[in-house]
Amino acid sequence: MEARVNAFATPTGGKLTKYLIAAGRVLRESSVPPATLHLVEIRASQINGCGFCLDMHTKDATAAGETPARLNLVAAWREAGCFTEAERAALELAEAGTRLADGSGVADEVWANAAKHYDEDQLVTLVAQIGLINAFNRMNVITRQPAGDYTPGQFDAIQ
């Protein structure tokens, strides 16, 4: 597959990418475990069908020590026993926040479950992570960014 446009190489896209990457760095400085943030990125990217982001975030998660068994079960997290209750709550919130267009929004029960495991700052971090990955997913899917060539950490130097 060939990209429709390299949105990240345009003046506006280049600036936007820098800001989005910087926002991601802020979220990684929070007290939400990095593994949880990776799981949220992966689950939203699965739902949105973003191959570029799946390639990136599964490779980054692997480089950070995530196991193949857990990565292979993200889409089936409800049936998999390898995720903590807190991770399950974050994945449930990620699904609800990614599927807003389905009309149900984020149910009070979903929010309450997440709030059992995360404080207010962590909840804001999760909500922001969900929004951020959905923005990246949409940019990449709309412009048909190809997957497969990502190297872990390749965007770390972007300031």
Average pLDDT over residues 123-133: 98
pLDDT of res. 103? 84
pLDDT of res. 54? 97
Confidence at 1, pLDDT banded by 50, 70, 90: confident
What CATH number does the domain containing 73 carry? Answer: 1.20.1290.10
Q: Is 151 domain-assigned? A: no
- Per cent of the chain over pLDDT 90 is 84
pLDDT of res. 135? 97
User: How many structural domains does the chain have?
Assistant: 1
Q: Is 70 domain-assigned? A: yes
Residue 107 amino acid letter: A
Tell me which residue range forms the domain holding 126: 33-142
Q: What distance in Å separates the CA atoms of residue 103 and residue 105, rounded to the nearest whole number?
A: 6
Q: Is 97 domain-assigned? A: yes
Cβ atoms 126, 96 nearer than 8 A: no
Per residue in 43-55, pLDDT tens? Answer: 999 999 999 999 9
Q: Is 85 domain-assigned? A: yes
Q: Is 121 domain-assigned? A: yes
pLDDT of res. 155? 73
Q: Is 14 domain-assigned? A: no
Per residue in 57-116, pLDDT tens? Answer: 999 999 999 999 999 999 999 999 999 999 999 999 999 999 998 887 999 999 999 999
The rounded mean pLDDT for the chain is 94
pLDDT of res. 152? 87
Per residue in 52-73, pLDDT tens? Answer: 999 999 999 999 999 999 999 9
Neighbours of 14 (CB within 10 A): 13
Q: What distance in Å separates the CA atoms of residue 22 and residue 132, rounded to the nearest whole number?
A: 11
Q: Is 11 domain-assigned? A: no
- Where do the H-state alpha helices sit in the chain? 11-28, 34-48, 51-63, 68-72, 85-98, 108-117, 120-142
Q: What distance in Å separates the CA atoms of residue 62 and residue 68, rounded to the nearest whole number?
A: 7
Q: Is 27 domain-assigned? A: no
Q: What distance in Å separates the CA atoms of residue 63 and residue 1, rounded to the nearest whole number?
A: 26
Residue 10 has pLDDT above 90, yes or no: yes
pLDDT of res. 159? 64
